[in-house]
A and B are shown apart, each in its own frame.
Chain A
């Protein structure tokens, strides 16, 4: 009987330990108990706008910039898709930048999560310049 008690005691302690460990891991990845996408950070110190602003408005900035660029020839870097791609580059296991075909791609990581499909990359390069 004492042997059984000791075994149960050890089991309880082990389970408690596991629970604490997994809770700690949960807290690191997500604080609110819902899954979040794993988004790669950009290379610079800060983005061209606040992160909160970018999350809500990046599409409008890109839309505006694309018309400015195509029609008026304005090629500033501030809100250009090309510069987003250059800064938010994600390297694959072979340390070559991944294309949008990889789920790790910066744009895709969030758009997959939000179930938003974009067609930018049917025409635009999804990684910094690669020699063909």
Chain B
């Protein structure tokens, strides 16, 4: 039994207050059914680095990203290059179907002519539509907010690709060899940005963020949105930031500033 307690913005047909109430009832019932047995342990850990090796990810953490578009240059695609290198993504000269975990999008205001460039990838929603539509449960959200595809259960139906409003997922059409050991990927499964989950689990940050601060404009900031002391939380609290298509109520973990 999994209990979801994250706060989220309302969506049609989804009532967070009701869900919270049901969760509370379920938790109370769980304790009452087995007196003396600790069914739901509550541990409070503010820092992600506190996660002991071998312990499961915790919902006390929510990984997120803040991207400052004033620092994102239209001609720069260091984040895209770093992502491909890190995860062993190779094109086959077929842009329509080649794997794409992160891409640069240029947007122009037709009224004023002002244009901006932004990196677009899986937004790691709190209420991800890709998870809602997955028939096998392969598309799932980890306790710490990272949305992933469990390729062991993915049947390649691509419903999630249809459901994602950010066009963040791709399907692997070709047989692959010599994948990166930390990024298994194979024909017939859907994939998307993993927020470099192998790095995050080791206490690091995603490859795109690292590349952006090393050689790019330093526009990307990665951190724990639930830790009030983290830099990302403080910046999000201080400055006006935007979620793309916030009207859908998906509560993406990726936020943009100066959009």
Contacts and interface: CB of A to CB of B under 8 A. Distances in A.
B152 interface: yes
Interface in B153-195: 175-182, 184-189
B56 A125 contact: no
Given A82-B181, A128-B181, A129-B180, A123 B151 contact: yes
A33 interface: no
A124 B178 contact: no
B180 A74 contact: no
A5 B180 CA distance: 70
A122 B180 contact: no
A20 interface: no
A122 B175 contact: yes
B148 A72 contact: no
B184 A123 contact: yes
A125 B181 contact: yes
Which among B143, B152, B185, B189 has the highest number of chain A CB atoms within 10 Å?
A: B152
State the majority secondary structure of interface residues on B.
Answer: loop
Report, as a range, how many residues of chain B touch the other chain: 20 to 34
A57 B248 CA distance: 47
Contacts of A93: none
A58 interface: no
Interface string A46-68: 00000000000000000000111
Contacts, number: 64
Interface in B183-219: 184-189, 197-198, 201-202
Given A74-B54, A82-B181, A122 B88 contact: no
A73 B185 contact: no
Given A71-B140, A132-B90, 5 more contacts: A67-B152, A71-B142, A75-B198, A85-B181, A123-B184
By Cβ-Cβ distance, the 7 closest A-B pairs, closest first, are: A123-B186, A72-B56, A73-B57, A122-B186, A123-B184, A125-B181, A124-B184
Interface of A: 66-68, 70-76, 82, 85, 99, 101, 122-125, 127-130, 132
24 contacts: A66-B152, A68-B56, A70-B150, A71-B140, A71-B142, A71-B150, A72-B142, A73-B201, A74-B54, A74-B56, A75-B198, A75-B202, A85-B181, A99-B178, A101-B177, A123-B151, A123-B186, A124-B186, A125-B179, A125-B180, A129-B180, A129-B181, A130-B178, A132-B178
